[in-house]
Amino acid sequence: MMTNAEVTHGVLPDSSSHSGVSWAAIFAGAAGAAALSMILVLLGFGLGFSAVSPWAGHGMSAKGLGISTIVWLAFTQIVASGLGGYLAGRLRVKWASVHGDEVYFRDTAHGFLAWAVATLVTAVLLVGSVSSVVGGGVQAGASVASGAVSAIGGAAGAGASNGSNDPFGYFVDTLFRDDRPAAVSDDAAHGIVTRIFARTVNNGGQLSAEDRTYLAQLIAQRTNLSQAQAEQRVDQVYGQARQAVEDAKLAAQKAADTATKVAAWTSIWMFIALLCGAFFASLSATYGGRRRDAVIVLGSDRYTTTPTTTTVR
């Protein structure tokens, strides 16, 4: 009966010249981890879509959905990485003449490498879809901020489409102004009002006296209001339009702030989940390695391997 230390001194073939990395086992564990991770992610998508509802008051809340997503992501990492690490440790080449501490380190490294390869493969496959989702959210926020004035122009009437986007439309209108405005069509009048409102709101200033008077003349011409009453209506409507723009900007800022916080917390929890995956992959690899070393070789005419000793015949 000989111990492992005696075997190391030359009874069994020396393994110091062989690589301590079993890439076949690592890639096998990574493949298993990546496949199981994909299956669990798809299952999570299905459960998530079945839990939400487009109707108000129905389905899971946004907070509940976020928490469940984080929990499922951590569960996916633990299970998939644990399987990959176990396969990498169980399928590796047996190091019969290596000290126990070194075996423990190599098993841990094999589990970590299997997790790393699986993570890189998954990241390559998912980076396109994640970028599109993040980019879509950023573009949506920018559209809300930049489209606030356009929404006001669209609500002003059909005349908004007739030159309201022309940067010189406002100045061209001023060339033909008169103390007694000529009668124009409804579309033309709406376009003039839209261009005045849009320019004033974009500049962030108060409606000028000339524009206020001119708008009141247009309104008095088309209604039964006096000049003073028309000016009061101009002030009231312009104040409402400016308030609507401010509300739209505030909503866009809140949406951007919420998106930033969500992105920050998502990154933090993904970092924690990946750390859990790396830990459980390494831990499972050591367990798989011990199970691999505990295998008793049958039908060998030279020696039989047990977990503690090696019997040489």
pLDDT at 131: 55
Exposed e or buried b for every residue in 162-184, given b needs 16+ CB within 10 A?
bbbeeeebbeebeeeeeeebeeb
Greater confidence (298 vs 274) lies with 274
Q: Give the best-scoring range by mean pLDDT among 39-48, 187-196, 289-298.
A: 39-48
Name which of 143-152, 202-211, 248-257, 273-282 the model is least confident about.
Answer: 143-152
Residue 290, pLDDT above cutoff 80: yes
* Domain boundaries defined on the chain: 4-12+19-138+269-312, 149-251
Greater confidence (220 vs 282) lies with 282
Q: What is the mean pLDDT of residues 22-44?
A: 90
Cα dihedral sign, 246-250-256-257: positive
- Average pLDDT of the chain to the nearest whole number: 74
Residue 106, pLDDT above cutoff 60: yes
Q: What is the mean pLDDT of residues 124-149?
A: 54
Q: Work out the number of other CB atoms within 10 angstroms of the CB of residue 77.
A: 27
Token pair 């790393």: residue: 116
Q: What is the mean pLDDT of residues 69-97?
A: 89
Rounded-to-integer distance, Cα 269 and Cα 74, Å: 8
Amino acid in the structure at residue 88: A
Greater confidence (131 vs 97) lies with 97
pLDDT at 9: 44
Greater confidence (166 vs 72) lies with 72
pLDDT at 310: 41
pLDDT at 159: 39
pLDDT tens for each residue of 166-219: 665 666 666 556 665 666 676 777 787 888 877 777 777 778 878 888 888 778
Residue 111, pLDDT above cutoff 90: yes
Rounded-to-integer distance, Cα 308 and Cα 18, Å: 23
pLDDT at 276: 92
